[in-house]
Amino acid sequence: MMKQNNNKIEFSYYELSLLSYLRENHPDKADDIAFIKSRADAAGEAYQMAFENGGDVQQCIDAANRVLYQGLHFSKYNTVVSVLLQEFSGEVPQSDVFSTAKRLLPQLEEVFAKFTFSDIFGYSEDFQPLYTELTGVIQLIWEENGKL
């Protein structure tokens, strides 16, 4: 549980773990403290329930992690980063890839809205059409603006 101590916010293990994951994979969600707190609390409850049901430590950890990261395994942000690295390495310096991906995300929401995401979307047959369409739209943005 997050606690405020002398104007500092302290995070629980699950909150810190989720916050770190969100910063790397879903930066748009990293400031949603209510989401982080709720998900971390649910993960702690899942761990406790697994323990009470006789689970060993690894089973308890797995139960908590399933809850903590549910629906977060596929990342729009990481997909855009991948497209930029693979398809636009000549247009976007590697040092600018992450900031460019963050900036492009809102412009790419129409593309993402055409797909239904799950934790295994990146391994589904729908991933390649998404990747191709993102590449095309980013190409159009680059051509219209002369930069990304």
As for how many domains the chain has, the answer is 2
pLDDT at 7 over 70: no
Confidence of residue 131 (pLDDT cuts 50, 70, 90): very high
Structural domain harbouring 102: 76-145
HSE on the CB side for 133, CA within 13 Å? 14
Residues 6+ apart with CB under 8 A from 111: 130, 133, 134, 137
pLDDT per residue as tens digits for the range 42-80: 999 999 999 999 999 999 999 999 999 999 999 999 999
- Looking at the fold, whether 49 and 16 belong to one and the same domain comes out as yes
> What does pTM read for this prediction?
0.82
What CATH number should be reported for the domain holding residue 81?
1.10.8.340
- Looking at the fold, whether 97 and 135 belong to one and the same domain comes out as yes
- Which of 69, 99, 116 is at the close of a domain? 69
pLDDT at 99 over 70: yes
Q: 3-state class of 113 per DSSP?
A: coil
User: Residue 147's pLDDT is what?
Assistant: 79
What CATH number should be reported for the domain holding residue 51?
1.10.8.330
**Is the separation of the CB atoms in 121 and 74 below 8 Å?**
yes
- Looking at the fold, whether 89 and 36 belong to one and the same domain comes out as no
- Which of 41, 69, 97 is at the close of a domain? 69
- Looking at the fold, whether 42 and 64 belong to one and the same domain comes out as yes
DSSP conformation class of 118: -
